[in-house]
Amino acid sequence: MDTPERAGLDPAEVRRLVREVRALTTGERPWAAGAVVVAGRGPVIAVEEAAGWAVRYASYNEEKDAGVELPAGARVPMSVHTPFDLASLTKLFTAVAAVQQLERGTLGIDARVAAYLPDFRGVAEHGITVRQLLTHTSGLRSELPLYDCRSDAARLELLRAEVPVSRPGGGYRYSDLNLLLLQYVLERIAGRRLDVLIRDGITRPLGMTATGFGPCPGAAATEDQRRPWGKAERGMLRGVVHDENAWALGGVAGHAGLFSTARDLAVFCRTLLAGGSYGPARILGPDFVELMTTAPGLGFAVDQPWFMGALAHRGAAGHTGFTGTSLVLDPATDTFLVLLANTVHPRRRDPDNAPRAALATRLARAVRGT
């Protein structure tokens, strides 16, 4: 790690950012059991901090509405090297894999999904396009109960029959199904599984050795997953995907399933800020990176104050994940912020995005000359 001064960041604001991250993991009901933050500007990592616990609770006590804490000696402290279940940050990698196919000419941005998946009759009948999947304008509902199906064949049949609930191309409707269907498109045209496409096309060239689909035994714990708050009876989860549909699909899915560290995600951010290259590796051309990260974005959310804070409104792009993960990259100032937290440990609650936005605002204030 380098210094805030070398990154052109105000060291006082950076110190405040670190204190705020630590505060998020303290108290009886912290925002997260543990967290890791990495932030920087250009090639310089100015902040790399871990706080709290990777594993704090043995289970969740429903009657007391509280986590059952492990004995002090059995807890696992958070480290800057701790992997996290990325949840929906996985979508960004699926989107990059798709845009790589656009660049190669094997995928058409405005092509109908039916051109690649004619057996998916629901999307075929309604003319859903690749662009609509990447921009969440397909009209598909947020998810399907694939976790309740008894076989892979039954899960596939649900997906093939699914029809939009609103007009494709109409308005924005965030849906896991968009990136899940895109996974099937990519696997059909490339003849390889999504995990292989992401490994060979993104993580291996960039040296992101800590990034991949699970299982990941050393990861931060997530949830004591039980009904009625969860959708499956799985107990305390660590190192296996939290998302129930990704779990039902074997852990590799276009919408969730990747594990990674904050340092690896910093490499991902720096690659995109540099126009698709990192050292000798090139995963995308600058025009295609711009296509992904400029409004309305392909896979990326653009200028969203609810989690980007003051970094929004000038072209920042990023995403969040249900387990407590997020990243923001701001081309205007060449800065990035990666925040990984296990906010669902010991159980999920309504998301509170205020800390994400506050930390992004703190980074915006730290940028000298703005």
Q: What is the pLDDT of residues 310-334, one digit of tens each?
A: 999 889 999 999 999 999 999 999 9
Q: Could you report the per-residue pLDDT of 148-172, keeping only the tens digit for each?
A: 999 999 999 999 999 999 999 999 9
User: Model pTM?
Assistant: 0.97
Instruction: Give the helix ranges, DSSP H, for 114-203.
Output: 121-125, 130-134, 152-161, 176-190, 194-198
The candidate with the shortest Cα–Cα distance to 268, out of 336, 184, 360, 183, is 336
pLDDT at 2 over 90: no
Q: Could you report the per-residue pLDDT of 38-61, keeping only the tens digit for each?
A: 999 999 999 999 999 999 999 999
The domain ranges of the chain are 1-55+262-370, 83-260
Helix, strand or coil for residue 293?
helix
Q: How far apart are CA 312 and CA 303, in angstroms?
A: 4
- The Cα-based distances of 96 to 105, 108, 197 in angstroms read 14, 14, 10
Q: Could you report the per-residue pLDDT of 85-137, keeping only the tens digit for each?
A: 999 999 999 999 999 999 999 999 999 999 999 999 999 999 999 999 999 99
Q: At what angle do helices 176-190 and 152-161 cross, to 10 degrees?
A: 110
Q: Which CATH superfamily hosts domain 83-260?
A: DD-peptidase/beta-lactamase superfamily (3.40.710.10)
CB 39 within 8 A of CB 363: yes
pLDDT at 279 over 90: yes
Greatest Cα pair distance, the chain, in angstroms, is: 58
